[in-house]
């Protein structure tokens, strides 16, 4: 079946116990194990699957199964946030292991590797550009994984997933891909050779800026067991109500992402023609570096773009005057968000380092929402002029 159908029909579309069409919220911490002890064979099928909600909860399971199916993986694991999912996946490694990543991964992932995991002696190398050559050059005897994100944040740099995964696999590494910006609707890294996909489900999967959540999907049962062991041991699990919200959001993923993507394309085009805009970063623009590669490995450019105004004053004026874009962090919600990386996601990076990475005071990142595209263009032009 096509993904549009799988968004709705994923094996959990009706509740086995009642026939409810909505995903029931099993707001419980524990489960009656009486039948275990009676041993008279009277337990209904599936009754003994759950014992304690950290180990498993049917509402969480419905979400985990749905995302695993969409990504084409063996199993899904839902966490209390995107960084909890990433931290738990990195938790399958041990002190002394080494991970290769990119300089422009999500700020929270950068912080995890540079502060938290550093204290636990997980080593890493951040590459300026991830390519088979740079990956091969960074491999050490203790290297265990490659961790990438494409398009990257906030400059939408494109990494070749297939080639990077192949280079990693040759050396026996596993590849982890953060697929938050694309969602499985537009990009399926496991099909391109990745081993684990992670998501901040806070963004497009949830889609309504009302829940914090993270998901990891593993390609094999063996890796799934390792991630599950961390999920169950470390315990950063997603609660039943939040699992329900994300599962509910996913049902409309296709209509949301397609509409938001069409709007992002129109915004990118309109912005690139405004006199106060210096550059627009969007994989859907023909001039964007890596646009062809992106088109070859993803089904669309997505709904996130960035642009640079000519002066910092113009960037400030835009953020102060736009009436439709909320100046805020995050992305992927139904409302358009304008974030200002130097003051928000990348504020912790020293200015000189930010300049080197191209993250200047003129840079604004837009996540297109579900407002009318013409209204957004009119609002953006007014705010920019």
Q: Is 328 in the site for ligand PLP (CB under 6 A)?
A: no
Measured between alpha carbons, how far is 101 from 110 in angstroms, rounded to an integer? 9
Binder to ligand PLP among 108, 290, 327, 358 (CB under 6 A)? 108
How many chain residues are in contact with ligand PLP, going by CB under 6 A?
15
The closest of 106, 64, 116 to 228, measured between CA atoms, is: 64
Q: Are the C-beta atoms of 138 and 101 separated by less than 8 Å?
A: no
202 versus 243: smaller Cβ distance to ligand PLP? 202
In the set 58, 75, 82, 189, which binds ligand PLP (CB under 6 A)? 82
> Using CB under 6 A, which of 98, 203, 274, 354 touches ligand PLP?
203
Give 15: exposed, middle or buried? Use CB within 10 Å, 0-12, 13-18, 19+.
middle
Residue 175 touches ligand PLP, criterion: CB under 6 A: no
Query: Would you count residue 254 as binding ligand PLP (CB under 6 A)?
Result: no
Q: How far is the CB of 63 from ligand PLP (least distance, A)?
A: 14
Using the minimum distance from each CB to ligand PLP, give the nearer residue, 88 or 259.
88
Q: How far is the CB of 161 from ligand PLP (least distance, A)?
A: 15
Query: How many angstroms separate the CA atoms of 38 and 313, rounded?
Result: 73
In this structure, the dihedral spanned by the alpha carbons of residues 132, 134, 140 and 142, taken in order and rounded to 10 degrees, is -70
Query: In sequence order, what are the beta bridge partners of 217?
Result: 76, 197
Q: Is 381 a catalytic residue?
A: no
> Per CB under 6 A, which region of 2-10, 17-25, 75-83, 217-225 contacts ligand PLP?
75-83
CB nearer ligand PLP, residue 82 or residue 302: 82
What is the smallest separation between the CB atom of 251 and ligand PLP, expressed in angstroms? Answer: 20
For residues 85 and 270, which CB has a smaller minimum distance to ligand PLP in the complex? 85
Of 111-150, binders to ligand PLP (CB under 6 A) are: 149
Q: What tokens appear for 140 in the block?
A: 């050490």
State yes or no: residue 339 binds ligand PLP (CB under 6 A).
no
Residue 79 binds to ligand PLP (criterion: CB under 6 A): no
* Interface with ligand PLP, residue 212, by CB under 6 A: yes
SS3 363: strand
- The token duo for 184 is 């499985």
Decide if residue 83 touches ligand PLP (CB under 6 A). Answer: yes
Contacting range for ligand PLP; rule: CB under 6 A; set: 10-18, 76-84, 111-119, 269-277: 76-84
- Catalytic pick from 97, 104, 160, 178? 178
Would residue 203 show up in a list of annotated catalytic residues for this protein?
yes
DSSP 237: B
Q: Which x/- pattern over 3-42 shows residues binding ligand PLP (rule: CB under 6 A)?
A: ----------------------------------------
User: Which residues in the 183-202 window bind ligand PLP by CB under 6 A?
Assistant: 200, 202
CA count, 13 A, side-chain hemisphere, 15: 12
* Conformational region of residue 113, where left means phi above 0, alpha means psi within -120 to 50, and beta covers everything else: alpha
- Residues 215 and 79 sit within 8 Å (Cβ to Cβ): yes
**Cα 194 off chain centre by:** 15
The CA-atom distances, in angstroms, between 180 and each of 22, 117, 131, 175 are: 25, 22, 21, 16
Provide the minimum distance between the beta carbon of 133 and ligand PLP in the complex, in angstroms, as a whole number: 25
106 is catalytic: yes
If you write DSSP's letter for every residue of 100-135 in order, what string do you get? EEETTS-HHHHHIIIIIHHHTT-EEEEESS--HHHH
Count of CB atoms situated within 10 Å of the CB of 142:
12
Could you say which of 106, 117, 228, 340 contacts ligand PLP (CB under 6 A)? 106
Q: Give the residue at shortest CB distance from ligand PLP.
A: 82
**Residue 54 annotated to the active site:** yes
Based on C-alpha coordinates, what's the Rg of the chain?
21
Catalytic positions, written as ranges = 54, 106, 178, 203
- List residues near ligand PLP by CB under 6 A: 81-83, 106, 108, 149, 153, 178, 180-181, 200, 202-203, 212, 214
């Amino acid at each position: 079946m096509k993904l549009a159908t799988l968004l709705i029909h994923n094996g959990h579309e009706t509740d086995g116990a009642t026939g409810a069409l909505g995903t029931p919220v099993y707001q419980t911490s524990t489960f009656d194990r009486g039948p275990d002890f009676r041993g008279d064979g009277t337990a209904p099928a599936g009754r003994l699957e759950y014992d304690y909600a950290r180990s498993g909860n049917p509402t969480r399971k419905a979400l985990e199964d749905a995302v695993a199916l969409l990504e084409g993986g063996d199993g899904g694991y839902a966490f209390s946030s995107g960084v909890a999912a990433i931290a738990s996946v990195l938790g399958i490694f041990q002190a002394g292991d080494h991970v290769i990543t990119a300089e422009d991964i999500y700020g929270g992932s950068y912080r995890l590797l540079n502060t938290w995991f550093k204290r636990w002696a997980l080593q890493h190398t951040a590459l300026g550009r991830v390519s088979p050559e740079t990956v091969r050059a960074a491999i050490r005897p203790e290297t265990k994984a490659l961790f990438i994100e494409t398009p990257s944040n906030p400059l939408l740099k494109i990494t070749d997933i297939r080639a990077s995964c192949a280079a990693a696999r040759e050396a026996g590494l596993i590849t982890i891909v953060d697929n938050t910006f694309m969602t499985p609707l537009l990009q399926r890294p496991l099909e391109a050779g990745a081993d684990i996909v992670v998501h901040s489900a806070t963004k497009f999967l949830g889609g309504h800026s009302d829940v914090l959540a993270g998901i990891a999907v593993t390609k094999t049962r063996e890796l799934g067991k390792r991630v599950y062991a961390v999920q169950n041991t470390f315990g950063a699990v997603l609660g039943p109500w939040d699992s329900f919200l994300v599962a509910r959001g996913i049902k409309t993923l296709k209509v949301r992402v397609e509409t938001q993507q069409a709007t992002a394309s129109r915004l990118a085009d309109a912005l690139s023609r405004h006199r106060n805009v210096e550059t627009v970063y969007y994989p859907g623009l023909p001039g964007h570096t890596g646009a062809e590669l992106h088109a070859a490995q993803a089904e669309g450019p997505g709904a996130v773009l960035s642009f640079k105004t000519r002066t910092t004053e113009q960037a400030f004026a835009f953020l102060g005057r736009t009436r439709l874009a909320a100046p805020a962090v995050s992305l992927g919600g139904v409302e358009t968000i304008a974030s200002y990386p130097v003051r928000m996601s990348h504020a912790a990076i020293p200015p000189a380092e930010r300049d080197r990475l191209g993250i200047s005071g003129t840079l604004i990142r837009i996540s297109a929402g579900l407002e009318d595209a013409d209204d957004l263009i009119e609002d953006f032009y007014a705010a920019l002029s």
